[in-house]
């Protein structure tokens, strides 16, 4: 008897309601849920900032920064975006650089095996590992007694503090070559201006040791399109992007102009002109000097009116300057800002 009373207590009220009343309550609940969902969609996909509207164009599927120029990248789930590019803790994008004794940069264009060096950061030390080499640990905060070098990148001068003899010997041993010096760009040093390299950048776009831009975006679809044309497929690592986007068409990233990811806002500046670095096998460190560059040249050259800018280099990926700093993470929607 008590069992049947309990069941009536739990469900009796609903059973005693008229069926029309119960149906009305269900419909009202469904409408309320739909209204909440609709409001959320409007806030995220259709919200306006002044006269601008956000149109979703993709999703972040990968984030990378490259602490040492031309060495291996570090995959991230979350990154801070600064005026000088991506950051994760004490790791900054291309804030370390290998130079010759005269200060000129050394990259994988000259030393392809640099791509085999993996880089990380822990407990205040930059850690470097390479095949058949003992791990190198370089303090992020260097002694003020360490020399500051005048470095030369693409015709522009920039400073870098020497990371010491142990680091120099480590690179000389691994590369089996002349003495190079590893240097670090520090916060009090003056960055290079992107506009001094390409006039398509704004005066506020600045960098440490990247080629010319604070951020490079490439879509998975663009890579897939390229790989359909290649006999030997290449990986995304051949192109060293910072932000990888999925859910869009091939080369759609070329046309976004202004975008918003997380609370970060960026402005497209120009296409990325590709060089022989893309032809290095990322697993062996052997440079081919032909593919995928030759295939890219068959369908990704610029319009004749832009040859003064890109010359004969094929275009793959898009450079972005930073309009608003902040954070972003894998899985974030990518919005095009439409005026």
Q: How many CB atoms lie within 10 A of CB 165?
A: 10
Q: What is the mean pLDDT of residues 71-96?
A: 98
Is 12 a domain residue? no
Is 20 a domain residue? no
Is 6 a domain residue? no
Is 42 a domain residue? no
Locate 163 and state its tokens: 């990371």
pLDDT digits (tens, 9 = 90+) for 254-272: 999 999 999 999 999 999 9
Is 11 a domain residue? no
Cα 332 to Cα 315: distance, rounded to the nearest angstrom: 26
| DSSP E strand boundaries for 165-277 | 181-184, 192-193, 206-207, 215-219, 243-246, 258-261, 264-273
Is 324 a domain residue? yes
Question: Do residues 129 and 118 make contact, with C-beta atoms less than 8 angstroms apart?
Answer: yes
* Helical spans, DSSP H, in 141-258: 165-175, 220-227
pLDDT of residue 47: 52
Is 38 a domain residue? no
Locate 14 and state its tokens: 């609903």
Is the pLDDT confidence value at 29 over 70? no
Residue 304: partners with Cβ closer than 8 Å, 6 or more residues away: none
- DSSP label of 203: T
pTM of the model: 0.85
Question: Do residues 292 and 278 make contact, with C-beta atoms less than 8 angstroms apart?
Answer: yes
Cα 85 to Cα 208: distance, rounded to the nearest angstrom: 9
CA distances from 46 to 31, 130, 266, 267 (A): 20, 48, 19, 20
In three-state secondary structure terms, 169 is helix
Considering its fold, how many domains does the chain have in total?
Answer: 1
Question: Do residues 55 and 103 make contact, with C-beta atoms less than 8 angstroms apart?
Answer: no
pLDDT digits (tens, 9 = 90+) for 217-248: 999 999 999 999 999 999 999 999 999 999 99
Range of the domain at 322: 55-338
């Amino acid at each position: 008897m008590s069992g049947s009373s309990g069941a009536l207590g739990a469900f009796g009220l609903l059973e005693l309601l008229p069926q029309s009343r119960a149906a009305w309550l269900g419909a009202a609940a469904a409408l309320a849920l739909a209204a909440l969902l609709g409001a959320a969609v409007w806030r995220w996909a259709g919200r306006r900032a002044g006269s601008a509207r956000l149109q979703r164009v993709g999703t972040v599927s990968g984030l990378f920064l490259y602490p040492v120029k031309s060495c291996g990248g570090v995959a991230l789930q979350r990154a801070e975006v600064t005026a000088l590019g991506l950051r994760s803790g004490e790791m900054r994008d291309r804030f370390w650089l290998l130079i010759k004794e005269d200060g000129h940069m050394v990259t994988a264009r000259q030393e392809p095996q640099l791509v085999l060096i993996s880089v990380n950061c822990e407990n205040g030390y930059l850690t470097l590992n390479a095949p058949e080499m003992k791990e190198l640990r370089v303090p992020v905060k260097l002694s003020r007694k360490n020399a500051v070098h005048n470095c030369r990148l693409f015709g522009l001068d920039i400073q870098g503090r020497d990371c010491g003899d142990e680091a120099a010997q480590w690179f000389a041993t691994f590369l089996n070559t002349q003495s190079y010096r590893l240097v670090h760009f520090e916060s009090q040093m003056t960055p290079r201006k992107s506009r001094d390299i390409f006039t398509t950048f704004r005066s506020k776009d600045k960098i440490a040791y990247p080629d010319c831009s604070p951020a490079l975006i490439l879509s998975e679809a663009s890579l897939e399109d390229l790989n359909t044309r290649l006999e030997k497929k290449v990986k995304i690592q051949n192109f060293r992007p910072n932000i990888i986007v999925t859910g869009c068409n091939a080369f759609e990233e070329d046309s976004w102009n202004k975008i918003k990811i997380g609370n970060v806002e960026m402005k497209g500046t120009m296409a990325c002109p590709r060089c022989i670095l893309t032809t290095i096998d990322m697993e062996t460190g052997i440079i081919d000097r032909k593919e995928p560059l030759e295939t890219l040249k068959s369908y990704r050259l610029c319009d004749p009116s832009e040859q003064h800018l890109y010359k004969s280099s094929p275009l793959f990926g898009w450079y972005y300057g930073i309009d608003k700093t902040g954070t972003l993470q894998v899985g974030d929607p990518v919005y095009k800002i439409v005026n």
